Structure 1
Amino acid sequence: MDRIAIIGCGGSGKSTVARQLAQILDAPLIHLDTLYYDKQWNPVPKDELAAQQEKLITGERWIIEGNYAGTLPIRLAAADTVIFLDLPARTCLWGIAERRWRYHGGQHPTDGVYDRITWSFVRYILGYRHTMRPRVRHLLQEHGAKVRLITVTSRRHTNRFIDRIKRETNR
């Protein structure tokens, strides 16, 4: 696992898993939220986001966490491993509630996440498995034929996966 893309619904734990893996594997970590948004939390132009990712994927090793299905094919073309956090909506909603409690809102300095809970974000989470998951699966089939796909479906499954990686790397 040298080039890892971590994807999943908001609140699924992408940033947490990415930080843990980056520490265990001693790999550079990129949070797509830090690329997608400017300092005023406005989205950057899509071509700029794509260009930034095109540069990042040339690295020998990396962990890139974030969704952005429009640029997922860029990451899939270079990744050797994709970790898909396919957790239930209630777990993801709990995840954003925990994040709000922990960080008290605002932009997180370490991962670029802007802790903003809106009704549209809640609707996105509630509908993710019906709308985005099929799109992500299609993109994985179309562009990710050579990647090792690891799908986790619960927090417990995620923790067991991280523990296994720790054991395998003796960390």
Structure 2
Amino acid sequence: MNKIMIIGCPGSGKSTLAMQLGEYKKLPVYHLDSFFWKPGWEQIERDKFIEKQKEIMEEPAWIIDGNYNATMDTRIKKADTIIFLHYRTTRCLFRIIKRRIQYHGQTRPDMGEDCKEKIDWEFVQYVLKFNKDKCPTIFDKLDAVKEKQIYILKNPKQLKQFFHQFKDISID
């Protein structure tokens, strides 16, 4: 397990899991949000975003967290392990509100430079619709995958059990 992809609804804990696994496995961690968002919440040009991910995926080992459907297929092909945090919408909404309070006026460690934590209606709508609108496509993509480790975790209890099992797996 050298190339780990973590996906899920905003607020599901992708970045937290990525950091914990990275620390334990001594693997480099890349948060796609930190590449996608330039200072002041300006989006990077699509070609540059895709190129940055290609560079990362050529490395011998990595953990990448984030969804970004436009590049998900490429990450799925390159990853040997895929973790999908498929949590309930209410849990994710609670967590994005909690995160907003925790990082009020600050930029999160997994976010692009000078992107102070915020919640707007568009983002809330994205979270509200994620399980209905985005998950079917994600499941279709994962159903088509062969010869990869895929973990679909539906709540923090399953994540905790997974993490304890995962910690016993050695890196090749």
Aligned counterpart in structure 2 of residue 126 of structure 1, from 125, 128, 144: 128
Q: Structure 1: where are the runs of 5+ without partners?
A: none
Query: Counterpart of 1:107 in 2: which secondary structure?
Result: coil
Deviation at 1:164, TM superposition (A): 2.1
Equivalent-residue separation in structure 2 for 1:159 and 1:5 (angstroms):
18
Letter matched to residue 9 of structure 1: C
Equivalent-residue separation in structure 2 for 1:49 and 1:62 (angstroms):
17
Letter matched to residue 126 of structure 2: Y
> After the TM superposition, which residues 55-134 of structure 1 pair with which residues of structure 2 at under 5 Å, given as runs?
55-108=55-108, 110-112=109-111, 114=115, 115-134=117-136
| Contact preservation (8 Å) 1:34, 1:112 | yes
Match in the other structure for 1:140: 142
- Return structure 1 stretches of 4+ with deviation > 4 angstroms: none
Summarize the Cα distance change of 1:141–1:45 in structure 2 as closer, same or farther, 3 Å threshold.
farther
Equivalent-residue separation in structure 2 for 1:140 and 1:9 (angstroms):
16
Match in the other structure for 2:12: 12
Equivalent-residue separation in structure 1 for 2:166 and 2:105 (angstroms):
31
Query: Counterpart of 1:7 in 2: which secondary structure?
Result: strand
Q: CA offsets, 1:102-161, max 9 Å, x none?
A: 2224421x211642211121111111111000111222234x333211000001111221
* TM-score normalized by the length of structure 2: 0.90
Equivalent-residue separation in structure 2 for 1:71 and 1:53 (angstroms):
8
Q: CA offsets, 1:55-75, max 9 Å, x none?
A: 110111100000101110111
Equivalent-residue separation in structure 2 for 1:121 and 1:85 (angstroms):
18
* TM-score normalized by the length of structure 1: 0.91
Q: CA offsets, 1:19-43, max 9 Å, x none?
A: 1100111100000011101122211
Equivalent-residue separation in structure 1 for 2:21 and 2:151 (angstroms):
14
Aligned residues: 167
Match in the other structure for 2:54: 54
Q: Structure 2: where are the runs of 5+ without partners?
A: none
Query: Counterpart of 1:116 in 2: which secondary structure?
Result: coil
Deviation at 1:168, TM superposition (A): 4.3
Query: Counterpart of 2:167 in 1: which secondary structure?
Result: helix
| Contact preservation (8 Å) 1:12, 1:95 | yes
Q: CA RMSD in A?
A: 1.5
